[in-house]
Copies of this chain bind each other. A is one copy, B any other.
């Protein structure tokens, strides 16, 4: 986009009047000045290199062109990541973000699930063979689990891998149409092999789900191998740059050595060696879920940046009749929509950082053989993935809708962010299933507390006595806010546990009792994750000093108070808060909007997204939004010709047929 060099005066004024140094906040977000500098260096490098490649604006391309351009950009990205020796995952992430912001690209699963699964599930010997091939892109892989008729329920998968001891091979089959592997990213056109999850059968015994490395295309000609039917699954809600694929396997034979055998084995004669723990087989997903939290938080941060900057530039309607149009940021309803989204973004980024630290702590223990904390890690990562993706995807739409008509243009960048964030509600575990897994763990801990047993520190809130009332007052002390959320989560968990007990004591089988209370259990799981986010965010903002502290405190309060007023019934129902407190919260929420108003542009500037990462006409740093929108329009493919072929083909003949029928008075070409 062309920049005129000058900054929109309304936006410049916003930056002048902020009360804190946003550079300091940026340093906090990126882990200090050095890391911030490094992140900027990497992103600027990518942006400059890309500008030389004369690429077309993503939003102006057709799907096929988007796929092709993602291949082109990926080649640059991964060549440079090696050249720069970027081994730190965060540095890799920032570099990639500057090249393909919210653009799922063809090698994405190759570099994540494919290589990760080999690293986690393959023997040392297998890794030695495959990892160098994968890292040098001789093999381009993906991870093929879900099937046309089967999603997250592993035991339901139909693809079979039958061991043939005569040839020492597995025979892989898609026995039905519903067994077709469906959705894996990069599978359609890009990958030449994949990790296939299949039902293992040996010596006539069914042995459950296992992973196999299956080559699907010739490594030289890229043509599908015999027995392989593979292709792209077609247009989707976003995800245009990646070839999610389908795969049918008809008696495809792979050597015995292609089963991933770190934890489990088939011997030459077909004897099956069990894993030490079933849990170890399904471990890879926990990290992915933990990483999603920060990812979707970053998506929301981008959407908030776009909407807040645009709302500072946009003047629309009058507050005082005749006094001229005002910045839409001055409308209370606009503040009420947007400011909580800024707060949510900061909250999710904090929770994401906390989650990754927790993950690293627990996996270090697991590597030493201590598996006790695995259930807690699983419960937390599942629930947090769910709640963060809900919050972020709803928040992105709130931001988009706050941009009026232009929020519907792809030039705004907002549809692109939404269609990239919303799938996180479904992939790596459907959100409702996830919060129910969290609830299962909560119930277990709740029962343990009842039995007087110890529970992990995160679950200590379940030990607080029921009842009581909140000490929350106009000061909105953070500990009072955290306590309110924990009280609610504990109450909802206890009530659900009570209902489960009542149902089973009345003779209902446990699984029926569970399903008959699933809505309340899911609500308890969600409430727990909300309390976790509020607590982590509160701990986070308490660390700030100086001018930043009151701003971040206000932001954290806004996050908590918004959550409370949106779920007011949960807090009023058992008398934990009074009607007076409820009215106070509603008034304080509005006060917080006013308090934060001078700082909102600085708060989104602090996210430090370069224009190329936002990829938005509305979110530009310089606020020259209308020039950018107009510029975008000129590039529409429909504008390549003044009068389209479609006019001669369908419009003109139709018009003429209508004139004739109606024997119109003759009109010249000018009215």
Contacts and interface: CB of A to CB of B under 8 A. Distances in A.
A538 to B, nearest CB: 22
A238 B407 CA distance: 12
Interface string A344-360: 00000000000000000
A599 interface: no
Contact of A522 (B333, B642, B646): B333
Nearest to A217: B643
B215 A636 contact: no
B509 A148 contact: no
Contact of A231 (B321, B332, B414, B638): B638
Contacts of A401: 422, 425-426, 431
Interface in A131-188: 132-133, 135-140, 146, 148-153, 156, 177-178, 180, 182-183, 188
A405 B183 contact: yes
Given A215-B670, A401-B425, 8 more contacts: A59-B234, A62-B63, A138-B667, A221-B669, A232-B636, A234-B409, A569-B582, A572-B573
Given A332-B516, A573-B568, A222 B425 contact: no
A545 interface: no
A504 interface: no
Given A408-B239, A654-B74, A316 B233 contact: no
Contacts of A333: 432, 436, 518-519, 522
Given A189-B638, A590-B519, A234 B511 contact: no
24 contacts: A60-B235, A62-B62, A68-B644, A71-B649, A71-B651, A71-B654, A74-B654, A75-B654, A75-B657, A132-B664, A132-B665, A140-B651, A152-B316, A213-B671, A215-B671, A233-B409, A237-B410, A237-B418, A320-B511, A331-B518, A332-B519, A333-B436, A336-B519, A405-B426
A258 B193 CA distance: 67
Nearest to A646: B68
A397 B394 CA distance: 10
Query: For the complex formed by this chain, how many copies does it contain in all?
Result: 2
Nearest to A106: B651
A319 B234 contact: no
Contacts of A74: 650, 654
Interface in A61-88: 62-64, 67-68, 71-72, 74-75, 78-79, 82
Given A132-B664, A138-B667, A219-B667, A626 B430 contact: no
Contacts of A519: 332-333, 336, 590
A426 B409 contact: no
A372 interface: no
A415 B237 contact: yes
A140 B653 CA distance: 13
Given A325-B153, A333-B519, A636-B235, A642 B316 contact: no
B436 A655 contact: no
A317 interface: yes
Q: How large is the interface on A (under 10, 10 to 19, 20 to 34, 35 or more residues)?
A: 35 or more
A178 to B, nearest CB: 5
A655 B133 CA distance: 11
Interface string A560-574: 000001011111111
A246 interface: yes
Interface in A577-631: 579, 582-583, 586, 590, 626-627, 629-630
A224 to B, nearest CB: 7
B650 A511 contact: no
Given A62-B63, A316-B150, A655-B138, A630 B246 contact: yes
Contacts of A512: 319-320
A515 interface: yes
A427 interface: yes
A446 to B, nearest CB: 19
A191 to B, nearest CB: 10
A60 B234 contact: yes
Contact of A646 (B60, B67, B193, B633): B67
Nearest to A237: B415
A471 interface: no
A146 B405 contact: yes
A234 B582 contact: no
A671 B633 contact: no
Contacts of A219: 667-671
Contacts of A627: 177
Contact of A423 (B153, B234, B408, B410): B408
A479 interface: no
Contact of A650 (B71, B223, B590): B71
Contacts of A670: 215, 218-219, 225
